[in-house]
Chain A
Amino acid sequence: MNTTEVLAARGVDLSYGSTPAVRDAHLSLAPGEVTAITGASGSGKSSLLYCLAGVLPPARGEVWFEGRPFSTLDDEEISTLRRERFGFVFQYGELLPELTVEENTALPLRLAGRRKAPALKAAAEVLDRLGIADLRERRPSQISGGQSQRVAVARALVHRPSVVFADEPTGSLDSANAGAVLEEFLSLARSQGTAVLLVTHDAGVAARADHHWTMADGVLSATGAAA
């Protein structure tokens, strides 16, 4: 594994029963860089993302994080990785509707065992950097879709993870909002030195990444450097 790589996949195969989803995938992510994977629906890009995040175990091949193969880690250690070193942005945000924006943002820190007051303080700082500090006390039902997705970005980055996995992070937004959210997201991630794996079917979104890969029928192929 290259020393500049934070996460890497080597010859990963993944299948659902007899249906192959990912075939012999090779991929690496570097700190502060954004890697995008595009492809049609059902091409296997989300499956690869969750495989790299340690949620779906590969049938063959290996995923490495900071030089350690996932196969040597038990479930608890992978959960700890996801909690402390990874961040996630989902297509629909998946904020907890009963928590306030501030509590939603602080959630990864709280899950990692941070005390409430410092966690909320760190959440407030990230929300401030994303320009939505005034929404802190509101609940997800009281804010717009674009604002919800910004909160999801804040939640993914609040604990300064090494890697953020973003599955169609702007898929539920209009183009204007999508552009703004993506800009803020990638800018904050780069400034923190966080590697971002971005899965999308939108070529415009992929164009903002440092590296661009395409997936078709489970096969990953390099498209080249984007931005």
Chain B
Amino acid sequence: MREFLLGLRLLLGSGRGARARFWLMTLGSSLGVCCLALVLTVPAILDARDGRAGGRDPVVFAGKPASGRTLVLERTDPHGSRPFNRVFVARGTRDTPGPPPGLDALPAPHEVFVSPALRDQLRREPNLKGLLPGTVRGTIAPAGLTDPNELYAYVGATPSDLIHSGATRALKSWGSGYAPNPAVDPSTLDILRFTMATLVLLPLAVHLSVCARLSAASRNRRLAALRLLGLSAKGTQRVNAAETVVAALLGAVLGIGEYWLLNQAMARTGLPGLKWYPGDGVPTAGTLALCLLGCPALAWFVGRASARAAATNPLSTRRTAIPRTPRIWGGLLLVTGLGIVIGYSLTGLTAHPADSSGINALLVPLGVLLTGLGLVLSMPLLSYLMARRLARSRSLTLNLAMRRNEVEPGSAMRVVSGLVLLVFSASLAQGVLVEESQITRSSSPSQEYGIPLAGLSAHQQQQLTAIPQLRAHALVMEPPFDPDAEGSRIPARALVATCGQLKSLVRHVEGCVDGKALRLTDPAVTPEPVAPSTVRLRQGTRHISLKITVPRQRALFTGYDVTSVDTPVLFPPSELPPGAVPASGTLILAGASDPATVRAVLDRIGAISPTADVDPVGVNVDGLQQISVIETLLALGMVMGLVVGAAAFLVSATDRAVERRSQVTALALIGARPRVLRLVQCAQVVLPLAVGLLLALLTGKLAETSYLVTGGGETFWDGAGVPLLAAAAGTVLLAAILGTLPLVGRRIDPELIRRD
């Protein structure tokens, strides 16, 4: 305690420079703690969203709805990358449940309650009103919404409006206790946490250790003097730790305050794809404890560790610049990590790529982690080896810069590792996005929409096929399927379309003859054995049967990646009995796959048939929502990582420049041009940074590949992300160059080299 108080006394009684350093440490810590609080609160924000989603989830009775019960029908359509949820409710006469969260009463028929975001969207897109039959009577309160940005509506209906849909259920109550579609899938959340931790927490640890080691040389001299005056080794370490602990504690308090302001601001403005209510972002007790106790605890250990040299060998502290070869174990971590990720990446070149089961689930993250840690810990060794080589150069600038790095390779690591880690982590982030994108997005240029024919009137069918943005339409006739009756053969389904319609639905057609039933075959797919079938048709008010045989004559086609054209028979519309339409089947509509067209088509479908269960083939709307959230979180992590990395860089580069002021002044006095001094300053930092960034790019891409290979997707090598990452690394490098140049001024102050 005595030493701790002595440390505080030295801090308070020291000069302006020491106080400036203390505040720099404090502000640096506060920035780090703010980012830490945000990262730790993200799961709580997602939990709060999922909790409200679970709280409004309809709990239904099993089986067909009994008469008199309240009916519910849920519909989810994509609106861009966001889901647009509509809940149709038809109030019953018995066992009527209470209102859902966010509403005061169940909506009456033709009453519509919308979320605030949907209300705004309706103003911008009046066409959306077609999806909401009725009059908007009010808005849903936050208790019934996952987030302020959600497109959600309760639509009051009559039982007869809903009963024809197979998805209509009798409503028992609201609130199933779990979210039907979590904001982020639990398995993805683990990966996201890991990536966020790499993006933010590793640079944060580097940043905090940078803050705790500011002015290391002058501080060590002071500590060495105390040790020589008789303070014990442990006492000397405690004196140093006092300052770092107080700075970290003050920084933690400030950081929590900064986070509170950030939460208030971000909850109001929102982020693309992710909005939350301010209450969702309130840090938990655990987060507060970790920030307020964890950071000072870390500072205590860092403060003690950084004073060890001065405490154990105070005399040598007076004599600096003894070249030390950096330890090789950081390089061993890198080699081990790279061995693992390269191994897994190489399996992507074989016919049997590794999957994420068993030991692989442990080894891949371990390999990525070892590679990242090894990359940072190898920086001193790489910096040292590069400095030794380049110091022999004939260039005075390189000579001066590299000699410095040769002597102090560790300081180069502290300066650049935050930014190097950022680029490494960015590769991982790209991997997560590529993986998610493969799951949720179709790369096909064509977008199909499947609508069950049940519940569609002939007039509605006609209107749907006339939607102007559509390129083609067809019908799929579905026979009743009875596995026992047909053995292993599947009863034939038939696509009712002309050759022209078929050509518009698929990439390529060969051998199609109009007016003739044909066997449809995709040469890339092994045909399944099919049996003749009987389909039911509606002809006016009566039902008739139609026998579908499997023809011998074939028409070959190549479909788009995701298509519902997978029927074994092509049946010409002209062969249907006059005025007959299939009683069971699907109406297939096809148009362009760009988001604007998809949105327009879905709006028109909604306007024609508001309760139709539209299947946008190949579009995973919940996945799109998830990827939007993930993209935002990763972008947030990148921004935080960049802030922390840039702060660590600037703080340590400035500190390094301040510590070298007397030597730089001496150099200026003996005639060194400011340009030379700036180049030296720049080269000292930028060359190790450039090497680090290049390595980060290479190792990051390998780590990403190992993740993609074991992720089970089709893309293993994400070449598309390289230019973006290279541009980001180049920008970081340019910013670093510009950041170091002002550290050497033109003015020479002889006082900086006078110590009496």
* A residues adjacent to B (C-beta < 8 A): 41, 46, 50, 53, 55-56, 75-76, 79-84, 86-88, 90-92, 94, 96-99, 103, 107-108, 110-112, 115-116, 139-142, 155, 167-168, 171
Q: Does B186 contact A (CB under 8 A)?
A: no
Q: Which residue on chain A has the smallest CB distance to residue B217?
A: A97
Cβ of A210 to closest chain B Cβ, rounded Å: 24
**Number of residues from B at the complex interface, CB < 8 A:** 32
Cα A211 to Cα B363 in complex, Å, equals: 79
Neighbouring A residues of B753 by C-beta, 8 Å: 90, 92, 94
Other than A90-B753, A91-B754, A92-B753, give 8 A-B pairs with Cβ distance below 8 A. Answer: A83-B672, A94-B666, A94-B753, A96-B663, A103-B403, A108-B671, A111-B667, A139-B321
Q: Indicate if the CB atoms of B750 and A83 lie closer than 8 Å.
A: no
Cβ of B474 to closest chain A Cβ, rounded Å: 77
Cα A82 to Cα B399 in complex, Å, equals: 21
Cα A173 to Cα B171 in complex, Å, equals: 95
Q: Which residue on chain B has the smallest CB distance to residue A84?
A: B671
Instruction: Determine which of A46, A107, A116, A142 lies in contact with B750 in the assembled complex, contact meaning CB atoms within 8 Å.
Output: A46
Q: Indicate if the CB atoms of B670 and A82 lie closer than 8 Å.
A: yes
Can you list 10 contacts pairing A with B, beta carbon distance less than 8 Å? A75-B746, A80-B671, A83-B671, A86-B670, A91-B754, A94-B665, A96-B663, A111-B396, A111-B672, A155-B670
Neighbouring A residues of B399 by C-beta, 8 Å: 103, 110, 116
In the complex, which residues 165-194 of chain B have their Cβ closer than 8 Å to any Cβ of chain A?
Answer: none
Q: Does B69 contact A (CB under 8 A)?
A: no
Q: Does B394 contact A (CB under 8 A)?
A: yes
Neighbouring B residues of A82 by C-beta, 8 Å: 669-671
Cβ of A46 to closest chain B Cβ, rounded Å: 7
Neighbouring B residues of A53 by C-beta, 8 Å: 669
Cβ of A47 to closest chain B Cβ, rounded Å: 8
Q: Does B336 contact A (CB under 8 A)?
A: no
- When each residue 667-690 of chain B gets 1 if its CB lies under 8 Å from chain A and 0 otherwise, what string results? 101111100100000000000000
Q: Does B319 contact A (CB under 8 A)?
A: yes
Cβ of A126 to closest chain B Cβ, rounded Å: 15
Q: Indicate if the CB atoms of A97 and B320 lie closer than 8 Å.
A: yes
Cα A80 to Cα B676 in complex, Å, equals: 13
- When each residue 264-279 of chain B gets 1 if its CB lies under 8 Å from chain A and 0 otherwise, what string results? 0000000000000000
Given contacts A88-B669, A116-B394, contact A141 B406 (CB under 8 A): no
Cα A100 to Cα B408 in complex, Å, equals: 15
Cβ of A70 to closest chain B Cβ, rounded Å: 14
Given contacts A98-B406, A142-B322, contact A79 B671 (CB under 8 A): yes
Instruction: Determine which of A92, A111, A167 lies in contact with B670 in the assembled complex, contact meaning CB atoms within 8 Å.
Output: A111
Cβ of A201 to closest chain B Cβ, rounded Å: 9
Q: Which residue on chain B has the smallest CB distance to residue A113?
A: B396
Neighbouring A residues of B394 by C-beta, 8 Å: 115-116
Given contacts A92-B753, A111-B670, contact A98 B322 (CB under 8 A): no
Cα A111 to Cα B755 in complex, Å, equals: 26
Instruction: Determine which of B396, B406, B662 lies in contact with A110 in the assembled complex, contact meaning CB atoms within 8 Å.
Output: B396
Instruction: Determine which of A84, A90, A94, A96 lies in contact with B400 in the assembled complex, contact meaning CB atoms within 8 Å.
Output: A96
Q: Which residue on chain B has the smallest CB distance to residue A100?
A: B403
- When each residue 395-436 of chain B gets 1 if its CB lies under 8 Å from chain A and 0 otherwise, what string results? 010011001101110000000000000000000000000000
Neighbouring A residues of B670 by C-beta, 8 Å: 82-83, 86-88, 107-108, 111, 155
Q: Indicate if the CB atoms of A96 and B754 lie closer than 8 Å.
A: no
- When each residue 100-120 of chain B gets 1 if its CB lies under 8 Å from chain A and 0 otherwise, what string results? 000000000000000000000
Given contacts A110-B396, A141-B319, contact A96 B671 (CB under 8 A): no
Q: Does B756 contact A (CB under 8 A)?
A: yes
Q: Indicate if the CB atoms of A111 and B671 lie closer than 8 Å.
A: yes
Q: Indicate if the CB atoms of A98 and B671 lie closer than 8 Å.
A: no
Residue among B399, B407, B669 with most chain A CB within 10 A: B669
Neighbouring B residues of A111 by C-beta, 8 Å: 396, 667, 670-673, 676
Neighbouring B residues of A168 by C-beta, 8 Å: 756
Q: Does B726 contact A (CB under 8 A)?
A: no
Cα A112 to Cα B673 in complex, Å, equals: 10
Instruction: Determine which of B322, B404, B406, B663 lies in contact with A94 in the assembled complex, contact meaning CB atoms within 8 Å.
Output: B663
- When each residue 495-539 of chain B gets 1 if its CB lies under 8 Å from chain A and 0 otherwise, what string results? 000000000000000000000000000000000000000000000
Cα A55 to Cα B535 in complex, Å, equals: 101
Q: Does B748 contact A (CB under 8 A)?
A: yes
Cβ of B89 to closest chain A Cβ, rounded Å: 77
Cβ of B343 to closest chain A Cβ, rounded Å: 40
